[in-house]
Amino acid sequence: MSRGRPAFATDDWMQEQQLRAEAEAEGWRRMRQKFVRPEPALPTPARVIAAAVEADPHRTGSAILKAVVRFLIAAFAAYLAWIAGTDARFGEFDIWMATGSTFAVILALSMFGPARGFVHAAAETMRWLLLIGIGFGATWLAFNWAG
């Protein structure tokens, strides 16, 4: 056995490994360039996003107040149907059928078209009236509490 270098660490072997590594690196570089993604766009400022997205008034506000307003509108229309039925001297069954169907139809129609905008406006008005009424009531109680 010779005392020279082993066969795997010869200059030729190291040269071959170097050439393989360079060829592999070049292959990876070409692949990265081939599948490169475009630069991500700069994020848009919050002001631009807020200006672009307008709040839909029908999706804002209290759902409970809108439901109460729809119920009150439908109840008032049903009351008018009851008055019309009694004035026309319908039978009791006919009056109740007219009243119930009017209530259901008006309740359903209040969810579409211009009635939806009216319901939103009425709910906002009701909200402010409730706040003002509670404020006046609390003020009255504060000054007239017997205790």
Q: What is the chain's pLDDT, residue by residue, as a tens digit (147 residues)?
A: 455 656 667 888 888 999 999 999 999 999 888 888 777 777 767 666 666 666 666 667 788 999 999 999 999 999 999 999 999 999 999 999 999 999 999 999 999 988 998 999 999 999 999 999 999 999 999 999 886
In a domain, 17, yes or no: no
In a domain, 34, yes or no: no
Output the CA torsion 120→124→125→129 (10° steps): 150
In a domain, 114, yes or no: yes
Full residue range of the structural domain in which residue 88 is found: 57-141
In a domain, 146, yes or no: no
Domain count, the chain: 1
Please spell the DSSP secondary structure of the chain, one letter per residue: ---S--GGGSHHHHHHHHHHHHHHHHHHHHHHHHTPPPPPPPPPPHHHHHHHSPPPGGGSS-HHHHHHHHHHHHHHHHHHHHHHHHHTT--HHHHHHHHHHHHHHHHHHTTSHHHHHHHHHHHHHHHHHHHHHHHHHHHHHHHH---
In a domain, 43, yes or no: no
